[in-house]
Amino acid sequence: MLDTVMIGAVLASVVAAATTLLIASLGELVAERAGTLNLGVEGMMIIGAAVGYATAYSSGSLLLGTLAAVLAGVALSLVFAVLTVWLAANQVASGLATTILGLGLAGLIGAPFVGTRIDAAPELRIPGLTDLPIIGKAVFGQDAFVYASIALLVLVTWGLARTRTGLVIRAVGESHVAAHALGHPVRRIRTLAVMFGGACAGLAGAQLSLAYTPFWASDMTAGRGWIALALVVFSAWKPLWLLAGAYLFGAVSILQLHVQGFGLGIPSQLLSSLPYLATVAALVLISALKRGQGAPASLGVPFVPDR
Amino acid sequence: MRKILSLALGLAAGAALAGAGALPASAAEKLKAAWVYIGPVGDFGWTYQHDQGRKAVEAAFGDKVETTYVESVPEGPDAERVIEQLARAGNKIIFTTSFGYMEPTLKVAKRHPKVMFEHATGFKRDKNVATYNSKFHEGRYILGQIAAKMSKTGTIGYIGSFPIPEVISGINAMMLGAQSVNPDMKIKIVWVNSWFDPAKEADAAKALMDQGADIITQHTDSPAAMQAAEARGVKAFGQASDMISFGPKSQLTSIVDNWAPYYVKRVKEVMDGTWTSTDTWAGIKDGEVVMAPYTNMPDDVRAMAEATEAKIKSGELNPFKGPVYKQDGTLAAKEGEAVPDKDILSMNWYVKGIDDKVPGQ
């Protein structure tokens, strides 16, 4: 049933499916490590998809489209940042409002583009390497978004653990009072972290509407923002576990389609729920093994300086 | 206090934004008609086509009618609230366009006996609740014949949404069509358990192509599968809307939902006072199921497809004409008979020749 050509194709699909989740969840991870729980990921992602597509379609430039998507994600994240960081509003309610606003605005922006299409973002092609059996297409034949997601992963992992900026972000997330007492501008740092989250969510949206399925349709993110959010929690706020979670989710969601295609008679409803079950099981196991490394202590707590 | 204030601020922002979704309705002498949609009008699929029907009503009656719609209404209690609001806002006819709106529609209809309700794809009626549906399976039979002619691997890839009778009867009709040309045709079925998830639909199409299917058919709403097929040079069929722009070299045809004739007719009947509660199941003959132009195929295949379409239109051909055998070999319809409508509307079995099980059976 399986040959090397098919395994190669499956791996390539897995990488693409995991990339959306990895990009969006890396951004949210940084925002949460700084202490802000932004439930607006789905909204920032879809606005990125809509603005990215609209720009790429109108200008003919995928690069411009991607940039516009990132900026749109940042713009929407600022709405959330103003409400929660500067006006100390409830983060859960504001995040939900951000998602609702994003979905509505995206539908409005995208309306004139329904039914149009563009060419997908080009895939890398290195003669020799891309033709390698099994891993060739998965490793050397992807679009720029995939390589960007890996670069982002390295940046976030290294940045959070090894740089002074990362230390300050973590300090703000663990105890904003202590960080404030040390003279760190808590609100400015949180705003920047939220903006980073918005940029990543916008980029993930662009990956959907410019590379994965290069067209615009309302609600095309179909809940991936929420999965990205869940991955952050289950990864115990560790970027490398996020990588594992995103790829596990991607792998199971592609493989279950193949299992169905073989007609083994396993109920498709069960198979469709497998990505969720497998990811939850694996990540619960991870966090159980690493007890005591829970959420950032100030996550979701509004900060009001010097009362 | 501060906490309560901040919570209120967040919720108020959310409520204000959510409220912006419903369109305002102003009082006038015109006949007011409303539509309730399950998805966004921008889905380029099911809801998009219903909204095209609404626009056709506006075009047909101009100043004499005022239309309203509410999109992305979840099935359940939310639907009842939305339908109730539309009834109170003075709408004289309300179309609820998803199966799960059945009970909410009936409940609201009881409270508003002077408002006419139209529920799509349901089976429960009342004095002021009519039902309507399309015979999509008629189109599927034609797809099956084309697929059998065009496929080299002899395998159809089928992307299903949910294993409900409407989708299963489509799969069966397609297989019956395919078998009428090539009795050995195979079909691979992948369920995505969603009506609308473009990325997943694309993944499903890729998985089917990886497994050797060279004709892609979908019963989901986005053009993602068509686009994935186009990218690999594989032939495919569109769904709900004409998807030729997403597969200029791939699309063989699409089954297009055309609700316009029905909507125009029913709104007219309300205006004339001749509206009655009916059960309409229209197909190719009535212009409600429309085949997009037959493209990317040789002339003889096109001629065959057109001939079959004509036969279905004239009533000479019923896709479910006997003998039809179920997978286990039992007879669903004898020679000279056809599978009865009620059995099609509750279909939960595959025809002989499908090498898979209905999920959950």
* Cβ proximity of B307 and B282 under 8 Å: no
Nearest-CA residue of chain A relative to B9?
A89
CA–CA min distance A303, chain B (Å): 11
Q: Which two tokens stand for residue B139?
A: 């189109």
Q: Which amino acid is at B88?
A: R
CA–CA min distance B289, chain A (Å): 20
Considering only CB atoms, A90 lies closest to which of B10, B190, B211, namely B10
Considering only CB atoms, A97 lies closest to which of B13, B198, B224, namely B13
Q: What backbone phi and psi angles, to 5 degrees, belong to A163? A: -110, 165
Name the least confident of A51-60, A113-122, B90-99, B153-162.
A113-122
Q: What is the pLDDT of residues B275-328, one digit of tens each?
A: 999 999 999 999 999 999 999 999 999 999 999 999 999 999 999 998 999 999
Q: Is B211 in contact with A262 (Cβ distance < 8 A)? A: yes
Q: Is B17 in contact with A272 (Cβ distance < 8 A)? A: no
B194 touches chain A (CB under 8 A): yes
Q: Which two tokens stand for residue B205?
A: 């199409």
**Domains in chain A, please, with CATH?**
4-289 (1.10.3470)
CA-closest candidate to residue A32, choices A228, A276, A243: A228
CA-closest candidate to residue A108, choices A215, A210, A216, A200: A216
CA–CA min distance B14, chain A (Å): 4
B239 touches chain A (CB under 8 A): no
Per-residue pLDDT of chain A (307 residues; tens, 9 = 90+): 457 888 888 999 999 999 999 999 999 999 999 999 999 999 999 999 999 999 999 999 999 999 999 999 999 999 999 999 999 999 999 999 999 999 999 999 999 998 898 988 888 888 888 888 888 888 888 999 999 999 999 999 999 999 999 999 999 999 999 999 999 999 999 999 999 999 999 999 999 999 999 999 988 999 999 999 999 988 889 999 999 999 999 999 999 999 898 877 788 888 888 888 888 888 778 777 766 567 898 998 889 886 5
Concatenated DSSP letters of A63-105: HHHHHHHHHHHHHHHHHHHIIIIIS---HHHHHHHHHHHHHHH
Q: Output the CA–CA distances (angstroms, integers) from residue A130 to A16, A122, A126, in the order listed.
A: 16, 14, 5
Contacts of residue B312, Cβ cutoff 8 Å, sequence gap at least 6: B138, B141, B142, B283, B284, B285, B318, B319
Q: Is A6 in contact with B211 (Cβ distance < 8 A)? A: yes
CA–CA min distance B231, chain A (Å): 9
Strand locations in chain A (E) = none
Looking at residue B24, its pLDDT comes to 43
- State the ipTM, two decimals: 0.88
Nearest-CA residue of chain A relative to B20?
A104
Q: How many angstroms from the chain centroid is the CA of residue B29?
A: 33
Regarding beta strands B251-257 and B289-291, do their DSSP bridges make them parallel or antiparallel, or are they unpaired? antiparallel
The helix (run of H) or strand (run of E) holding residue B215 is strand B215-218
B78 touches chain A (CB under 8 A): no
Instruction: For residue B191, give the DSSP letter.
Output: E
CA distance B15 to A227: 24
**Domains in chain B, please, with CATH?**
28-134 (3.40.50.2300), 136-256+290-345 (3.40.50.2300)
Regarding beta strands B331-333 and B324-325, do their DSSP bridges make them parallel or antiparallel, or are they unpaired? antiparallel
Q: Is B7 in contact with A104 (Cβ distance < 8 A)? A: no
Considering only CB atoms, B191 lies closest to which of A97, A224, A272, namely A272
CA-closest candidate to residue A157, choices A166, A148, A144, A146: A166
Looking at residue B1, its pLDDT comes to 38
Q: What is the rounded radius of gyration, in angstroms, for the C-alpha atoms of chain A?
A: 20
Interface A-B, measured as beta-carbon pairs within 8 A, has a size of 172
Nearest-CA residue of chain A relative to B5?
A89
Regarding beta strands B186-191 and B155-160, do their DSSP bridges make them parallel or antiparallel, or are they unpaired? parallel
CA–CA min distance B157, chain A (Å): 8
Q: How many Cα neighbours within 13 Å face the side chain of A51?
A: 27
Nearest-CA residue of chain B relative to A107?
B42
Burial (CB count <10 Å: 0-12, 13-18, 19+), residue A164: exposed
CA-closest candidate to residue B192, choices B233, B220, B232, B152: B220
Q: Please say if the pLDDT value at position B2 is more than 60.
A: no
Neighbours of B158 (CB within 10 A): 29
B303 touches chain A (CB under 8 A): no
* Cβ proximity of A15 and A146 under 8 Å: yes
Return the percentage of chain B with pLDDT > 70, whole number: 92
Beta bridge partners of B290: B256
